[in-house]
Amino acid sequence: MKYRTLGRTGLQVSEIGLGCEGFSGRDETFTKEMFGLALEHGVNCMDLYSPDPEMRSRIGRMLRGKRESFVMQAHLCTVWKDGQYQRTRDMEEVKASFEDLLTRLQTDYIDIGMIHYVDSVDEWKEIADGEVMQYAFRLKAEGRIRHVGISSHNPAAALAAVGSGLVDVLMFSVNPCYDLLPPDENCESLWLESSYEKPLLNMDPDREKLYETCQRLGVGITVMKAFGGGDLLSPHSPAGMALTVNQCIHYALTRPAVASVMSGVRSAEELQANLDYETASDSERDYASAFAALPKISWQGHCMYCGHCAPCPQGIDVATVTKFLNLSKAQGAVPETVREHYAALAHTADACIQCGACESRCPFGVPIRENMKEAAALFTGSSAK
C-alpha cells in the first residue's frame, strides 16, 4: 500500500481508504472480514458519514487497540432518525450525534471532522458564519477533532470553502464523468442521463480550478464516488462504455491534491478489486487510451496527468511538470512550494530536446513540446533546447 500526505494536515493516509456505505445493516462477521482484509493490505483510513448507531459500535470494536494508527474521517451534521441517515444543521442534534460517535467508536478524538454535504455557496456562507463552524472549531480547540473538513459535490461551494482557509480537508466526488459537468447545487444532475446527452468537451474549468487551488493551499482531497456509485463500471456508463476499477481509481489519484480514494464497497470481492489497484500494472491503470476512445467525451488538447506519454528519453516526468505548470498558470505566479517541488525533480523541462516522442503517444493531442518550453522559462528562466 502506498501512503500519501493529506495536504497540510500532515496525516499519512493510504491511497485506498474505506467508505462506510457497505457496513450499514451488516453484521459483526461481515465487518470483521472487511476490516481484516483492509488492514491486512495496509488500509489506514476510513470515511464514516453514516450515523447508523450499530455500525458505529461495530467499527468501534474493530478499531480497539488500533485507533492511534488509524485515520478516522467522520462527519458532523448527520443524524440517525427512523432507521435512516439524515443531514442536519440543528445544533442539538449535531452535538448529540458527535457525542454518540465518540462513545460508539470508543475514542476521544476524530482525526477529521467533516461538515457534511455542503452543496451550495449560500449554504457554505451560512456554515462559515454560523454555529456549525463555531462548534467545529471549539471541538478542534478541545482536541476532540484534529482537523476540520467539508464534503461537497459542487465545485463552486467547495472552492468557496477551500478559499476561506477554514477547512483543511475536502471530501469531493471525483471521476472523469462528473469532472465534465459545470457546478450545480443539485447533485443529482451528476448522475442524470440527460446531463450527458450532448457531447462533452474537456474538464469543467471550475473543477480544474478547485483541484489546483486545493493543491496550492494544501487542502487535501479525499475522494467519494470514484466509480459514480458504480455507474462508470457499467456498459451504460455516462461515458458511453464501461471503465474499470483501476482506471477510475488511477484517474482520481492523479488529480492534484488527492490523497485517498474512499472505497464505498459492499463486499469483500469489491474491496479486493479496489485493493488490487496497488499491484496493478501501469497498463491496467492507464485510463488514457480508454478515455481517448470514449464515444461521448473528448479531452482534446487537455493534459489529464495520465503519464501515457512516458517514457521521455531525457527522463522528464511530463505529467508532473505539466501539473506544476498548470498550477502556476492558474495562480498567475509560481507558488514557492511548487518551485521547490519542481527543482527537486530528477529531470526538469529544460532538459527537453524537443524530440516529440511524447506527443506521438499522447492520446489527447497536448502540445507537450510547447509546455516544456513554457515550463523551462517559467521555473528557471531557461529554455528547452
Least distance CB 33 / ligand SF4 (angstroms): 38
Contact with ligand SF4 (CB under 6 A): which of 13, 145, 156, 358? Answer: 358
Closer Cβ to ligand SF4, 122 or 370, answer by number: 370
Residue pair 213/162 in contact (Cβ under 8 Å)? The answer is yes
- Please state, as a whole number, how many other Cβ atoms lie within 10 Å of the Cβ of residue 2: 10
- Residue from the set 322, 326, 328, 348 that interacts with ligand SF4 by CB under 6 A: 322
Span interacting with ligand SF4, options 160-168, 183-191, 232-240, 363-371, rule CB under 6 A: 363-371
Residue 251's contacts (CB-CB under 8 Å, 6 or more residues apart) are: 174, 175, 176, 226, 287, 304
234 φ/ψ sector (left φ>0, alpha ψ -120 to 50, else beta): beta
| Residue of 87, 93, 90, 102 whose CA lies nearest to 139 | 102
Cβ of residue 319: shortest distance to ligand SF4, in angstroms? Answer: 4
* Among the listed residues 77, 214, 366, 376, the single contact to ligand SF4 using CB under 6 A: 366
Least CB distance to ligand SF4 at residue 369 (A): 5
- Nearest approach in angstroms of CB 345 to ligand SF4 is 12
Identity of the residue, 200 or 306, whose beta carbon is nearer to ligand SF4 in the bound complex: 306
CA 333 to CA 255: how far, in whole Å?
Answer: 20
Report how far apart the first and last C-alpha atoms of the chain are (Å, whole number). 39
Residue from 25, 36, 199, 356 in contact with ligand SF4 (CB under 6 A)? 356
In DSSP terms, 222 is beta-bridged to 171, 260
d(CA 86, CA 12): 30
What nine digits make up the cell of 187?
Answer: 447533485
Residue from 136, 169, 181, 306 touching ligand SF4 (CB under 6 A): that is: 306
Residue placing its CB nearer to ligand SF4 in the complex, 116 or 308? 308
* C-beta of 12 vs 354, nearer to ligand SF4: 354
Give me the least distance between CB of 107 and ligand SF4, in Å please.
41
Residue with cell 470514484: 226
By the rule CB under 6 A, 354 interacts with ligand SF4: yes
162 close to 219: Cβ distance less than 8 angstroms: yes
Which listed residue (303, 325, 338, 378) binds ligand SF4 by CB under 6 A? 303
Residue 375 as a binder of ligand SF4 (CB under 6 A): the answer is: no
Give the number of other Cβ atoms within 10 Å of residue 143's Cβ.
9
Grid cell locating 73: 474521517
**Residues β-bridged to residue 297:** 200
Q: Does 325 bind ligand SF4 (CB under 6 A)?
A: no
Residue 307 found at the interface with ligand SF4 (CB under 6 A): yes
The yes or no reply on residue 222 touching ligand SF4 (CB under 6 A) is no
Determine, following the binding rule CB under 6 A, whether residue 324 of this chain makes contact with ligand SF4. Answer: no
Q: Which residue has the cell 457546478?
A: 183
Runs of H (alpha helix) within the chain: 28-40, 53-62, 91-105, 121-129, 131-141, 155-164, 205-217, 245-253, 268-275, 282-285, 288-292, 318-331, 336-343, 357-361, 368-380
Taking contact as CB under 6 A, which single stretch among the options 23-31, 50-58, 205-213, 313-321 is the one that binds ligand SF4?
Answer: 313-321
- Does residue number 352 form part of the binding site for ligand SF4 (CB under 6 A)? yes
Interface residue with ligand SF4 among 190, 316, 330, 376 (CB under 6 A) is: 316
Q: Does residue 14 belong to the site contacting ligand SF4 (CB under 6 A)?
A: no
Q: Verify binding: residue 308, ligand SF4, rule CB under 6 A.
A: yes
Which residue ranges make up the site for ligand SF4 (CB under 6 A)?
A: 288, 303-309, 312-314, 316, 318-319, 322, 352-358, 362, 364, 366, 368-369, 372
